Each structure stands twice: as C-alpha cells, then as structure tokens.
Structure 1
Amino acid sequence: MAASSLASSPILASNIAVPPPPPPPPPPPLPMMPSKGSVPAPPPTKPLKNGAAPPPPPPPPPLPMMPLKGSVPPPPPPKPLKNGAAPPPPLPMMPLKGSVPAPPPPVPLKNGAAPPLPPPLFGAAKNLGPKRPTTRLKRSAQMGNLYRVLKKKMEGTNQEGPIPEGRSSQARRGLTGNSNGGKQGMADTIAEITKKSSYFQQIEKDVKKHAKSIMEVKGAITNFQTKDMTELLKFHKYVESHLEDLIDEGQVLARFEGFPTKKLETLRTAAALYLKLDAIVTNLKIWKVVAPLSQLLDRIEHYFNKIKGEVEAFERTKDEEAKKFQTHSINFDFNIIIRIKESMVDVSSSCMELALQERREMKAVENKKTPGSKTERPTKDCTTKLLWKTFHFAFRVYTFAGGQDDRAEQLTRELALQIESNLQHQ
C-alpha cells in the first residue's frame, strides 16, 4: 500500500531512474552499383546441408579489350548452321590506306593439275629497246683461262685479263661523213655590192640553168625513205649526179625555198659511213693469209689496231647516229658492225691454222735432224714465241668481237696445247 502510493506520487517519480528503450536494429546495407567498366561482385555463397564445403566460385569473365585507334576489330565467330553444313568463308578485310592487298588464294584445279604460274609483277623489267642482232659468235668458256695460263708461262706474270690498250685520240675521226651545207642567201646590201662579180653571176646562171633538175631532186629527197643500204647508195649517187656541176652548191640551193638541206647532209653522212664500214668487211674477206707467218701477223695487227679504234668509237655514238638517221626516214643497217667482227675472227682463225701448219712442217724437219744439234733449241724457241704471238692476237680479236665461232674455239685449244708441249720439251 505504501509502495504503490510512493510510486504514484509525482514528486518521487521524478527522482527514480527509468531505463531507456532498446535501439532499433540497423537497416540492411544498400546494394553497391557497379562502376562503369568494373566487374560486379559474385553473390554470397549459400550454406550447404550436412556442413559440406561450398564449391570454389567460377573465375570472372575476361575483361573486353578496347580496340586501339586505327586497328581493325576481329570478325565475330561463325554461327553454326543447320544439318552440320560448313560456315561460309569470312569476308575479305579492306586494306588500309597505303598498304598492298594480299594476292587471292589459288583456285584448286580438277584432276590434280598444277596451278598456272603467277603473272609477272607490275613494273617488272621489260626490254623495250631494239632487238640484238644475231651472230654466230659466242662467249668462250676456255679462252680467258687459256690466255692467263699461257701468259704466265711465256711472260712470267700473273696478270689477268687482256693487256690494257690505249685508245687513240683519232679513233673518233674518219667514220661519220661531213658535208658543208649552204648558208642562207647573202644580205641584200652585200648582194648589191657583189652583184657585178663573175662568181655570183655564175651562181645566178646555175640557178636558172638547173632549176628544173634541182626541183626534182628537192621532191625526191623530201620523200625518200629506206631500210636497204643498197638503195641508199643508189639514191645518193642519183642526187650527186644532179648537184656535182654546181659552182657553189650551198649558194645555189639557198635560192630554192624549202630545200631539205639537213636531210641531204644526213643522206651523205649515212652513205659515207656505210661505204667506209663495207670497205672494211671487203678488205678482211679478201685478206691473203700466206706465209711467212711473222710478216703476216705484223700486217694484220697493224690493220686491226686501226679498225678497232674506229669501230669502237662508232659504237659509242651509234645510238645518237641512229636517232639522227631515223629522224630523216633512214634506217641504217648496223648489222655491218657484226659482219666486221665476224670477218676479223675468220682472219684470226686463218692465222692460227697457218701457225699450226708451219709448226707441223718444222717438227717434221726437226725429226730428221741429229739430236743435240746447235740449231734445234733456237728453232724451238722462235717457234714457241711465234705461236704465242698468234694466240695473243687471237685473244685480242676475241675480246674485240665479244666471242668466237666453233672454228676459232677448236683452233685456240689446239694452239694452246702446242705451246704447252713446246714449253715442256725446252
């Protein structure tokens, strides 16, 4: 009774401590939003029954790689088709700017046949120049080696290659013809002064007298074109027959407007050049190869040194001359250079034949002599030196011609064997 009354009293109630109420439970954690590009955390594993250990979590998927700037993304994997059919081949990738596209794969042929050869690459070397003239001369596999071996034995040196030869400063002269074309008419003032001269009166007389034939020659030269050198020489003779009587060709032709003076000069140059080269071929073809060999070699070597410089000088300017001739519709026959070289090889071969013949005759005489005679050894020495001189000349001709034929190939081999045989018996 007393306790209840005390508790109900307001004064006492304020002095008695009352325990506070318990705090509310914390709210559940909010789910974290995955950041851009991050991988979400795996969910918590549920406890298994019977206290078994939970299986390990699966590995996280690989992060997707961002393609680099300018790179080409890989194609997606092909989707499987129905009925087990093979997927179609991927589309070809577009080549980047400035890259070279790859060639297409070869198409399989039927019956196991071999695929055709690929076409040549663009820009491959292509011979657009004139065709090389055909010749019976060819490079020798033995000539250079034979020359070096014999030169070492005969001259005691191991120098390789042909003996260097100086080129004559006059080699360029004498092949291309030169004619003095007429200048244009004299000035009017000079013409008035010289009007009463007998020389100019004769020029005016030639202009009136030969006007008709000069006009015919003018049209013929303008329309002339040829590939045949015989026709060229014939036409050149025709032109000269009409112009040879003029007192001053240049002054007379200058009176005829539009006369093809430059073509006339080119015509004369081509004719003179061909006549000179053809004369070399003729001289070589009729060259008499007769004993004694020493004198023959002196004469033919002197002539060879002369034409060698001229022909080589002409070959250096051949392309320029050809263009000048073609400008005026004259196709010069440069095969005459091949004929010169072939004729020179023929003369060289004839010299080797004569050397071998003289050696056989000398050997027959030596076999009849008593061994140990005083004249035996000097005769062999002179013969060996002469054989070597013949071989050396043949090598120079081979170098000049750029090859040799089968006849020269056989004779150089026989001559080299004879020289070595002589050296072994000395």
Structure 2
Amino acid sequence: MAASSLASSPILASNIAVPPPPPPPPPPPLPMMPSKGSVPAPPPTKPLKNGAAPPPPPPPPPLPMMPLKGSVPPPPPPKPLKNGAAPPPPLPMMPLKGSVPAPPPPVPLKNGAAPPLPPPLFGAAKNLGPKRPTTRLKRSAQMGNLYRVLKKKMEGTNQEGPIPEGRSSQARRGLTGNSNGGKQGMADTIAEITKKSSYFQQIEKDVKKHAKSIMEVKGAITNFQTKDMTELLKFHKYVESHLEDLIDEGQVLARFEGFPTKKLETLRTAAALYLKLDAIVTNLKIWKVVAPLSQLLDRIEHYFNKIKGEVEAFERTKDEEAKKFQTHSINFDFNIIIRIKESMVDVSSSCMELALQQERREMKAVENKKTPGSKTERPTKDCTTKLLWKTFHFAFRVYTFAGGQDDRAEQLTRELALQIESNLQHQ
C-alpha cells in the first residue's frame, strides 16, 4: 500500500526521468541506375530467423576480356556429353605469323613406360666435324716465364716471346706443287704433222700393247678408297708399276675414255706428301744425340729450321688438301704432323739431358782440382753457361713450334733453368 501510494504521488512522479521514444528508421536508399557496361549490385540479403548470420554474398562474375589485336580468341568450353564420356580434345590453334608452333603432346605409352626424350632444338646439336688428334704434348705453365727471366739475364733485354725468325723458302713454297695436267690437246693440233713420227707411232704401240693392264688400272683407281696410309703407299706402287713403261703417259692414257686422271694425280700427291712427312719422323727418331754438344746443336737447329717451315706451310693448307683428298675417297692421316712434333720434342729433351750431364761432369772435375778459385776456371764457366742457354733457347723454340711439351721435357727445362741461374750467381 505504501509503495503504490508513493508511485501515484504527483510529486515523486515528476522526479523520475522517462526515456525518450526511439527515432524513426531511416528511409531505404534509392536504387541506383547501373551505368553502361557496369555490373548491377546484388539484391539485399533477407534477415534470417533465430538471429542466424546471413551467408556471404556470391562473388561477382568475371568481366569479359576483350581480345588483343592480332591474338586468337580462346575456344569455347566443351559441352558435356551423355553417359559421362570424356569430351574430345580441342582443335590445335593455328600459329601466328612468325611464331614457332608448339610441339605435339606426347603419346601415352603402355605399362607406364617413360616417354622418349624430345629432339634437340635447332642449332643445339654439337659440331660433328673431325675430332682433334690426341697428343701427349701440353701447354706449360712455366716455360714462357723461365724463358723471359733467363733471356733478360743472359742478353740484357726483357723482350717477351721467341726471337722472330725469317720465313724460309720452304715455307713460301709449301710441300705440294702444282700438278702437271694432261697433254692430250697436243695430239689433236699436230696430228697431221706427226702421223709419220716414230714418237707417236710408239704411243700407238703402247696403247695396243698395254690396253688390258691400263683398263685394269682404270677400274682399280676408280674404285679405290682408303684411310690406311700403308695401303695407300702399296696401291700407289701397284699403279706406278703398270704405268712406268709407257713412253708418254699423258698421251697414252688420253686414248682411254673416262680414265680417272685427276684421281691418279691426287693419289700421287697424297703418297708423295705422306712419304715426305714420314721421312721426317724417321730422321728424328734415329737422330744421334752425342757430344760435342755445340756441334750437335748446330746440326739439329739447321734441320729444325728446314722442317719447321715445311710443316707450318702444310698446316696452313691442310684443310684445303683434306677436301681435295676426300673428294677422291682418300682420307689422309694428318696425325703424322703430331708425330713430327712429338719426335722433335724428344730430340730437344735429349739435347737438354746431354747438356746437364756435361755440366755435372765439368762441375765434378772442377771440384777435384786443388785450386778451384783459379782464373782458368772463369772462361770455362762462362762458355758452359752460354752453351746451356743455347740449349734452353732451342728447347723453347721447339716448345713453341710443337704447341706444348711432355712431362719429361717439363722436368728437364726446369732443371736446366735452375742450373743456368746457379751458374750466373757464382760468376
């Protein structure tokens, strides 16, 4: 009763605050007109019952991409087929002008085998040219430096590289000369005058007498091909044995139509060239390296100057000669050039061994003398050092010519350089 009376009292009711009414809801936004080319906004989400959160709106559809100028539009998506069958593969796209077409997809193999490797790209294949010949000679890391140091000490100059040498006449001429051509045109121009000549009568006799053997040689030369130089020399000897009795080979062979005259000349050139180069190898292998060292160096340097010009001239025309030989089915063995250089290095190493042996004998003889510091030793020491330097200089020229040296020459040049420097310090 007391509480109800207090609530109904007008005085107390005026002291109690009354909350204001809630504001009216805002008006709904006006619908926006979509602009040209824009995507309309999604409709508002409806409120769910029980206060559940509304699901997120779906993403907007992707904008269609305009194809670039000159590009090919993508193909439409394949239509689903009945019975769940896989759609056929899309048609290949035509390549643009100037573009490289894509390689075809690999064909699936049975039993899970790995597909074969793709072929190499254009220009990625290795050069299939002739292999470089193998040799035991190699470039030296010390030879050039030892030569420059010793040259400065012996000759008082710091000029780098080998001493320039004059080109020999053999280098200008080369190993191969111009071959003599046929002489069959002569017979046509003087046929009327020489019908009664005994010389041309002998030519006609040779044509009849040696016709069978010449036809055999003709067929053998036409079918001949080899890579073996021994077989080349043997066949060359066989051909010459059948043609050496002709009074005039050119006139006689001109009577046989289709005789391989050019191949015959190439065969002779190849055989003569190989015989000459092989003779150089033989001479170097049998070269006697004996004292006195000074005379030995004079002889071997003279021979080295001769063959150096010939070999270098041949190396300049080697590619041209190889093509000419291969045109007539003759594969010339150019490894003989490597054998010449290796043999020259062997002779140079033998000269260095002889120089070191001679120096050790002289040093031992000096040590056995009672007065090792006498004035008579100085000239002998100077001459010995100059001879050692001459030997080293020759070895450096051979090294430059051969393009390298083997382990034996490498060790000997080091020992010889140390000996020269030791002599210079004790002078």
Q: TM-score, normalised by structure 1?
A: 0.74
**Superposed displacement of residue 164, structure 1:** 2.8
- SS class of match (1:192): coil
User: What is the CA–CA distance in structure 1 between the aligned matches of 2:287 and 2:23, rounded to whole Å?
Assistant: 139
Per mean C-alpha deviation after superposition, the further-off stretch among 149-158 and 368-377 is 368-377
**Superposed displacement of residue 119, structure 1:** 9.8
- SS class of match (1:409): helix
User: What is the CA–CA distance in structure 2 between the aligned matches of 1:109 and 1:391, rounded to whole Å?
Assistant: 68
Q: Deviations over 1:349-377 (max 9, x none)?
A: 00000100344334433551514322212
User: What is the CA–CA distance in structure 1 between the aligned matches of 2:353 and 2:14, rounded to whole Å?
Assistant: 158
Per mean C-alpha deviation after superposition, the further-off stretch among 387-396 and 363-372 is 363-372
**Superposed displacement of residue 402, structure 1:** 1.2
- SS class of match (1:361): helix
User: What is the CA–CA distance in structure 2 between the aligned matches of 1:77 and 1:169, rounded to whole Å?
Assistant: 82
Say if 1:371 and 1:256 are closer, same or farther in 2 by CA, change over 3 A: same
User: What is the CA–CA distance in structure 2 between the aligned matches of 1:125 and 1:7, rounded to whole Å?
Assistant: 108
Per mean C-alpha deviation after superposition, the further-off stretch among 142-151 and 52-61 is 52-61
**Superposed displacement of residue 269, structure 1:** 0.4
Per mean C-alpha deviation after superposition, the further-off stretch among 231-240 and 367-376 is 367-376
Q: Note if contact 2:174-2:313 (Cα within 8 Å) is conserved in structure 1.
A: no
User: What is the CA–CA distance in structure 2 between the aligned matches of 1:401 and 1:334, rounded to whole Å?
Assistant: 15
**Superposed displacement of residue 138, structure 1:** 1.6
**Superposed displacement of residue 127, structure 1:** 2.9
Per mean C-alpha deviation after superposition, the further-off stretch among 47-56 and 175-184 is 47-56
Per mean C-alpha deviation after superposition, the further-off stretch among 48-57 and 292-301 is 48-57
Q: Deviations over 1:21-75 (max 9, x none)?
A: 9999999999885543579999999999999999999999999998876799999
Say if 1:202 and 1:10 are closer, same or farther in 2 by CA, change over 3 A: same
Q: Note if contact 2:170-2:306 (Cα within 8 Å) is conserved in structure 1.
A: no
Q: Note if contact 2:227-2:333 (Cα within 8 Å) is conserved in structure 1.
A: yes
- SS class of match (2:164): coil
Q: Note if contact 1:206-1:247 (Cα within 8 Å) is conserved in structure 2.
A: yes
Say if 1:367 and 1:72 are closer, same or farther in 2 by CA, change over 3 A: farther
Q: Paired residue for 2:320?
A: 320
Say if 1:165 and 1:89 are closer, same or farther in 2 by CA, change over 3 A: farther
Q: Note if contact 2:147-2:393 (Cα within 8 Å) is conserved in structure 1.
A: yes
Say if 1:44 and 1:149 are closer, same or farther in 2 by CA, change over 3 A: same
**Superposed displacement of residue 105, structure 1:** 16
Say if 1:194 and 1:29 are closer, same or farther in 2 by CA, change over 3 A: same
Q: Note if contact 1:227-1:330 (Cα within 8 Å) is conserved in structure 2.
A: yes
**Superposed displacement of residue 10, structure 1:** 63
Per mean C-alpha deviation after superposition, the further-off stretch among 269-278 and 190-199 is 190-199
User: What is the CA–CA distance in structure 2 between the aligned matches of 1:19 and 1:313, rounded to whole Å?
Assistant: 120
Q: Note if contact 2:222-2:260 (Cα within 8 Å) is conserved in structure 1.
A: yes
Say if 1:123 and 1:7 are closer, same or farther in 2 by CA, change over 3 A: closer
Say if 1:419 and 1:206 are closer, same or farther in 2 by CA, change over 3 A: same
**Superposed displacement of residue 238, structure 1:** 1.6
User: What is the CA–CA distance in structure 2 between the aligned matches of 1:114 and 1:423, rounded to whole Å?
Assistant: 72
User: What is the CA–CA distance in structure 2 between the aligned matches of 1:20 and 1:387, rounded to whole Å?
Assistant: 125
Q: Note if contact 1:281-1:339 (Cα within 8 Å) is conserved in structure 2.
A: yes
Say if 1:44 and 1:116 are closer, same or farther in 2 by CA, change over 3 A: closer
Per mean C-alpha deviation after superposition, the further-off stretch among 318-327 and 37-46 is 37-46
**Superposed displacement of residue 87, structure 1:** 21
User: What is the CA–CA distance in structure 2 between the aligned matches of 1:118 and 1:207, rounded to whole Å?
Assistant: 62
Per mean C-alpha deviation after superposition, the further-off stretch among 238-247 and 262-271 is 238-247
Q: Note if contact 1:185-1:251 (Cα within 8 Å) is conserved in structure 2.
A: no
Q: Note if contact 1:218-1:259 (Cα within 8 Å) is conserved in structure 2.
A: yes
Say if 1:369 and 1:46 are closer, same or farther in 2 by CA, change over 3 A: same
**Superposed displacement of residue 170, structure 1:** 3.3
**Superposed displacement of residue 2, structure 1:** 70
- SS class of match (1:157): coil
Q: Note if contact 1:218-1:260 (Cα within 8 Å) is conserved in structure 2.
A: yes
**Superposed displacement of residue 188, structure 1:** 4.6
**Pairs within 5 Å for 1:173-188:** 173=173, 175-176=175-176, 178-186=178-186, 188=188
- SS class of match (2:185): coil
User: What is the CA–CA distance in structure 1 between the aligned matches of 2:264 and 2:107, rounded to whole Å?
Assistant: 63
User: What is the CA–CA distance in structure 1 between the aligned matches of 2:330 and 2:122, rounded to whole Å?
Assistant: 35
Structure 1, unmatched stretches of 5+, are none
Q: Note if contact 1:226-1:331 (Cα within 8 Å) is conserved in structure 2.
A: yes
Q: Note if contact 2:233-2:271 (Cα within 8 Å) is conserved in structure 1.
A: yes
Say if 1:161 and 1:183 are closer, same or farther in 2 by CA, change over 3 A: same
Per mean C-alpha deviation after superposition, the further-off stretch among 269-278 and 230-239 is 230-239
Per mean C-alpha deviation after superposition, the further-off stretch among 285-294 and 204-213 is 204-213
**Superposed displacement of residue 133, structure 1:** 1.5
Q: Paired residue for 1:244?
A: 244
Q: Note if contact 2:147-2:396 (Cα within 8 Å) is conserved in structure 1.
A: yes
- SS class of match (1:352): helix
User: What is the CA–CA distance in structure 2 between the aligned matches of 1:309 and 1:258, rounded to whole Å?
Assistant: 39
Q: Note if contact 1:222-1:260 (Cα within 8 Å) is conserved in structure 2.
A: yes
Q: TM-score, normalised by structure 2?
A: 0.74
Say if 1:34 and 1:171 are closer, same or farther in 2 by CA, change over 3 A: same
Per mean C-alpha deviation after superposition, the further-off stretch among 109-118 and 133-142 is 109-118
**Superposed displacement of residue 154, structure 1:** 1.5
Per mean C-alpha deviation after superposition, the further-off stretch among 289-298 and 13-22 is 13-22
Say if 1:103 and 1:402 are closer, same or farther in 2 by CA, change over 3 A: farther
State the identity %.
100
- SS class of match (1:172): helix
If you compute each CA radius of gyration, which structure gives the higher value, 1 or 2? 1
Q: Note if contact 2:366-2:372 (Cα within 8 Å) is conserved in structure 1.
A: no
Say if 1:378 and 1:198 are closer, same or farther in 2 by CA, change over 3 A: same
Per mean C-alpha deviation after superposition, the further-off stretch among 43-52 and 326-335 is 43-52
Say if 1:101 and 1:425 are closer, same or farther in 2 by CA, change over 3 A: farther
Structure 2, unmatched stretches of 5+, are none
